[in-house]
Each structure stands twice: as structure tokens, then as C-alpha cells.
């Protein structure tokens, strides 16, 4: 089965030569891009994209899908990170498998509509029988490429931690379950649709031993490591007080730097930590809207990229954003870097690179993130004939004047969004289920 995406007005390939093409086609077969160029011969299926801009699918490097069930919770709307968490923990402790599955479906569909083809997820609480498998089942249905991470919290309130005791797990059990989900679901091959990572929630919710053991386990299994790091001033103060060092030092001491590690936020990294991340090839998931929403600050993305740090984008959880629109994050990174560094600090094309290939590199996916022969067929198609782009002199500058939803989306060659609608699940029904569950949690 060959699919031909025909006559793109503009194509931002993000390939090694950063080529921008116009009037070209893409041919897909068995989930792989087999040709890019003008007038490719006919296929079994032809999708005419005249008047559209074609980009690689966007890559989301940080999310907590379950939080789509707790958007805009009144008590957390205006709180800083730690207060926000303490408002939400008791609500999350009432979740179970159905809440995890439905909230993931909604979050994944929302991402797909905003151009995302590959997403990671960070699930760090497992109340009432919930499992990582619940979210993997949702990703399988929606059809996105998925990197779930087995998160964890082990230090509850009674041990001086932030989460309530009811949401923490025994460390031995956490490690056992990491092994279980890796063995059951992790696929390291090219074109893989599921890769599992190991992801204790943050240095302030697990022990030093668990951080170290998690790194050893991940390397033994050949999977990646992920956590939250240096998110805001409270986070730095906690690290200095409890560990006697800054977060970068803590991470390095416990084996949490390297090309197989990526950290979320890193808003407060200093110059030395940026050097450490650059030398060790440690990745960063930058979450600009969440950082704004929680008042955490502006991550030094310009300095990171100039130092050679690999940076991708993340929407972060939908309780701290509260939107899961990835192309909106790409616009936000551009705006925030300009606030700090001036109008020439980041171009629309560079921000789109971070949102696509940058994210794929952070997640260790050299097979994704660009439109080139031999790469996986993860492709976003943007209709620039609408009101948002009307009058644009440069429609390929999507982030300055472009749509915030895709027209079509292909993942591994399969059409997941067609004419602005998710094809794989009954989305209106899922929304109804989600709202029913949310109403039950409010009682």
C-alpha cells in the first residue's frame, strides 16, 4: 500500500540540509517515507495537499496525560508549584484504571489535533489498581507513537516528602514494576510504536537510593531515564537544603546525565549546569506554557542551544497548562526567548525545529522528526488557506501566522487525523466519558 501526499505548497523537511521545498510530493509505504520530490508516480491512495504546509510531526517530550481530568481546578488555578501539587494530590488519589485510560485518550487526541505524532508521558502515581498499561492501551487506540515512562513517588508526608502517604509506593515494588512494564511493552527497534522509560517523579519525591537504582536498572535494560529537574526557585532551595548541592550536581552524582537521560523544565539551570548537560549530551524537555502558568520563570533555552544542549518541547501536564496544544508551545518558546534576548533570539523555523527534530533527538529517535527518505512517515499537514494565515507573506512561518490545529496527520503512515477530525477513536464519546468522570471527582 503506497500513499502519496501530493503537491505541498511548502515543505519544511528538517532534514540534514534543512531543506524547504515547494510543489513537492511525499510517498509513504509500510510506515516509511520512500520518496520526496516533484511528480512522484501515482499510489494506491492520494492525499492532495495543495495550499498546505507540510512538516514532520511534532514531538512532545513531557506530559502527564492523566491530568487532563483535572484541568482548571479552582484551588490550583493561582498556586505556585508546591501549593498546586498539594491541592491536586488528594483528587488524584481517587483515580483508577478507567480515569487513566480515558484521560490519556483525551490528552493524546488533543495532541494529535495540534500536530503531534510522538509523545512521551510521565505517569508517577498508581492509585486503586491503575497501571502504566492503561495509558499504553489508550495510545494504541489513538494511534500515536508513545514513550510512556514508569514514574514513581516513594517519600510521603510522614517521611518529610510532599505527596500524601496514600500516593507513594514501596521502592522495591517500583523497581519490580519498572522491569515488568519494560519486559511487556518496550520495543527498541526502528519504527517502534512504544518505548518505555524509567522516571522517578522528582528529587523531592523519591530517595537518593531509588534515583541511583533507577539509573542502574534503565542502563541494564537499555531504556531512557526521565524526571523533573530545577523547575523553579523552591526546587533549587529544596536541593540546596536537603542535598547540599544544586540539582545538576545531584543528577550527575546519581548517574542522571548522559544521552539516555532527559530532564523536564530545567528553568533554573546555571551556566555550569548547562555545560554539564552539553558535555554529557543530556536532553531537556522545555515546557514554556507550564512554566508561565506556574510562574516558574523562563528557561535559558537560547543559552542551552548555543552550548549544544539538546532541547525538545513539552506541553507538561494538563493541570498546569491547562492546554495540551503542542504547536502553541512552539510559538511560546519563540516568544519567551525574545522577551529575554531580543527579537532576533529565535526564528519561527528554529522553534519549529525544536518542536520536531529537536524533540525526536531528545527521545533518542533518529528514525523520526524529519521528512527524508528512510525516515518514519510521521507527517503533519497544515492548511494555510484559512483566516489565521490570510495575508501572510511567508506561510511556512507557521508559528507567526498559522493554524493551531492540523488538517491531516500521519503516524507511521497511518492517517490519524483527516480534515481536522481524529479518525481512530470516537472522540465526542470520549469527551463525554471524560466529563462524566470529572464531574464524579468534583463531588
Question: Which stretch, 2-10, 201-209, 309-317, 344-352, contacts Zn ion (CB under 5 A)?
Answer: 309-317
- Residues 235 and 197: beta-carbon distance below 8 Å: no
* Closer residue to Zn ion (CB): 120 or 389: 120
* Closer residue to Zn ion (CB): 316 or 412: 316
* Closer residue to Zn ion (CB): 9 or 132: 132
* Closer residue to Zn ion (CB): 268 or 375: 268
The HSE-up count of residue 207 (CA atoms within 13 Å, CB side) is 14
Taking the complex as a whole, how short is the minimal distance between the CB of residue 2 and Zn ion, in angstroms? 40
Determine the residue with CB nearest Zn ion: 316
Taking the complex as a whole, how short is the minimal distance between the CB of residue 149 and Zn ion, in angstroms? 11
Taking the complex as a whole, how short is the minimal distance between the CB of residue 79 and Zn ion, in angstroms? 15
**In degrees, to the nearest 5, what angle opens at C-alpha 433 toward C-alphas 427 and 439?**
135
* Closer residue to Zn ion (CB): 123 or 398: 123
Query: In which element (H, E) is residue 430 found?
Result: helix 427-442
Report residue 293: phi and psi, to 5°: -60, -40
* Closer residue to Zn ion (CB): 121 or 383: 121
Question: Which stretch, 195-203, 312-320, 329-337, 399-407, contacts Zn ion (CB under 5 A)?
Answer: 312-320
Taking the complex as a whole, how short is the minimal distance between the CB of residue 92 and Zn ion, in angstroms? 13
Q: How far is CA 354 from CA 57, 63, 279, 339, 401, in A?
A: 12, 16, 19, 18, 18
The mark string for 267-306 relative to Zn ion (x by CB under 5 A, - otherwise) is ----------------------------------------
**E strands within 124-260?**
145-152, 197-200, 224-229
Nearest in space to 23 (alpha carbons), one of 12, 37, 13, 34: 37
Taking the complex as a whole, how short is the minimal distance between the CB of residue 377 and Zn ion, in angstroms? 29
Taking the complex as a whole, how short is the minimal distance between the CB of residue 201 and Zn ion, in angstroms? 9
> What's the CA gap between 197 and 136, in Å, rounded?
12
Question: Which stretch, 3-11, 249-257, 308-316, 352-360, contacts Zn ion (CB under 5 A)?
Answer: 308-316
Question: Which stretch, 137-145, 211-219, 311-319, 412-420, contacts Zn ion (CB under 5 A)?
Answer: 311-319
Taking the complex as a whole, how short is the minimal distance between the CB of residue 67 and Zn ion, in angstroms? 9
The mark string for 122-141 relative to Zn ion (x by CB under 5 A, - otherwise) is --------------------
Taking the complex as a whole, how short is the minimal distance between the CB of residue 316 and Zn ion, in angstroms? 5
Nearest in space to 287 (alpha carbons), one of 343, 229, 364, 209: 229
> What's the CA gap between 299 and 291, in Å, rounded?
8
Contacts with Zn ion in 313-332 (CB under 5 A)?
A: 316
* Closer residue to Zn ion (CB): 86 or 341: 86
Cell of 315: 506541553
Question: Which stretch, 212-220, 310-318, 412-420, 433-441, contacts Zn ion (CB under 5 A)?
Answer: 310-318
Taking the complex as a whole, how short is the minimal distance between the CB of residue 296 and Zn ion, in angstroms? 11
Q: How far is CA 85 from CA 1, 77, 162, 294, 372, in A?
A: 48, 11, 8, 11, 42
Cell of 160: 518529610
Nearest in space to 269 (alpha carbons), one of 292, 294, 302, 243: 302
Contacts with Zn ion in 182-241 (CB under 5 A)?
A: none
Q: What is the β-pairing status of strands 379-383 and 52-56? A: antiparallel
Count of positions on this chain that bind Zn ion (CB under 5 A): 1
**In degrees, to the nearest 5, what angle opens at C-alpha 40 toward C-alphas 37 and 43?**
135
- Which positions lie near Zn ion, rule CB under 5 A? 316
Amino acid at each position: 500500500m503506497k500513499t502519496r501526499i501530493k503537491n505541498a505548497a511548502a515543505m519544511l523537511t528538517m532534514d540534514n540540509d534543512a531543506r524547504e521545498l515547494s510543489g513537492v510530493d511525499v510517498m509513504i509505504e509500510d510506515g516509511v517515507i520512500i520518496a520526496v520530490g516533484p511528480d512522484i508516480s501515482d499510489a494506491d491512495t492520494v492525499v492532495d495537499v495543495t495550499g498546505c504546509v507540510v512538516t514532520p510531526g511534532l514531538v512532545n517530550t513531557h506530559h502527564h496525560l492523566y491530568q487532563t481530568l483535572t484541568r482548571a481546578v479552582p484551588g490550583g488555578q493561582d498556586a505556585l508549584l508546591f501549593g498546586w501539587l498539594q491541592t491536586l494530590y488528594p483528587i488524584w488519589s481517587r483515580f483508577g484504571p478507567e480515569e487513566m485510560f480515558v484521560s490519556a485518550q483525551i490528552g493524546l487526541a488533543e495532541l494529535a489535533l495540534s500536530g503531534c505524532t510522538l509523545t512521551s508521558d510521565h505517569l508517577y502515581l498508581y492509585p486503586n489498581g491503575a497501571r502504566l498499561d492503561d495509558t499504553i492501551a489508550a495510545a494504541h487506540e489513538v494511534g500515536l507513537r508513545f514513550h510512556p515512562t514508569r514514574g514513581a513517588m516513594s517519600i510521603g508526608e510522614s517521611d518529610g516528602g510532599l505527596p500524601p502517604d496514600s500516593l507513594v509506593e514501596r521502592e522495591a515494588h517500583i523497581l519490580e514494576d519498572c522491569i515488568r512494564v519494560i519486559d511487556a511493552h518496550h520495543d527498541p527497534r526502528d519504527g517502534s510504536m512504544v518505548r518505555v522509560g524509567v522516571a522517578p517523579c522528582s528529587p523531592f519525591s523519591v530517595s537518593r537510593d531509588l534515583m541511583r537504582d533507577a539509573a542502574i536498572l534503565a542502563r541494564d535494560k537499555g531504556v531512557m531515564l526521565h524526571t523533573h529537574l530545577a523547575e523553579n526557585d523552591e526546587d533549587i532551595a529544596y536541593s540546596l537544603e536537603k542535598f547540599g548541592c544544586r540539582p545538576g550536581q545531584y543528577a550527575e552524582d546519581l548517574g542522571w546525565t548522559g544521552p539516555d537521560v532527559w530532564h523536564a523544565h530545567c528553568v533554573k539551570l546555571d551556566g555550569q549546569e548547562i555545560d554539564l548537560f552539553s558535555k554529557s549530551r543530556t536532553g531537556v524537555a522545555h515546557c514554556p506554557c507550564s512554566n508561565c502558568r506556574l510562574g516558574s520563570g523562563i528557561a535559558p533555552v537560547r543559552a542551552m542551544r548555543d552550548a549544544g544542549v539538546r532541547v525538545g518541547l513539552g506541553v507538561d501536564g494538563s493541570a498546569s497548562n491547562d492546554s495540551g496544544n503542542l504547536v502553541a508551545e512552539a510559538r511560546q518558546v519563540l516568544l519567551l526567548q525574545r522577551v529575554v534576548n531580543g527579537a532576533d533570539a529565535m526564528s519561527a523555523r528554529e522553534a519549529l525545529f525544536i518542536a520536531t527534530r529537536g524533540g525526536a533527538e531528545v527521545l533518542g529517535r533518529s528514525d523520526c522528526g524529519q521528512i527524508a527518505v528512510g525516515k518514519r512517515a510521521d507527517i503533519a499537514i497544515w492548511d494555510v488557506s484559512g483566516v489565521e494565515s490570510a495575508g501572510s507573506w511567508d506561510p511556512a512561518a507557521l508559528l507567526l501566522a498559522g493554524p493551531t490545529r492540523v488538517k491531516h496527520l500521519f503516524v507511521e503512515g497511518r492517517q490519524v487525523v483527516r480534515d481536522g477530525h481524529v479518525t481512530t477513536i470516537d472522540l465526542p464519546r470520549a469527551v463525554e466519558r471524560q466529563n462524566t468522570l470529572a464531574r464524579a471527582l468534583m463531588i
